[in-house]
Amino acid sequence: MLNKFRYILKYVIVWRQSKNLRVSKKEKVKVIFDSNFLFVPSQFQLDIFEELTTLLNQRFDPILLSPTQKELQRLAKEGSPKTRKQASLALKLAEKCR
């Protein structure tokens, strides 16, 4: 899974470069998180913020859309015991997002 995660991020970086969507090192790249991405740490014991910093090699601004937050809140209340636990951790990570 980690290799797939890195592959996807590298693909996004290459796509951004091919479209001349360059961002200076001083600017923060906006990264939109979805619920699946926030479940990665609980499933694979992986620090997604550290991995993004390493792979992007620049500062980033984690963004969480309100529908994603609502989905996580719903899963934390109504999901299976395992899903509730994972969603609760995801909500804690979501606090680091704008």
Q: Mean pLDDT across the stretch 39-48?
A: 88
pLDDT at residue 46 in the model: 85
CA distances from 50 to 2, 62, 75, 78 (A): 13, 12, 25, 30
Average pLDDT in the chain = 82
Give 49-94 pLDDT, tens digit per residue: 988 888 877 888 899 999 999 999 999 999 999 999 999 999 999 9
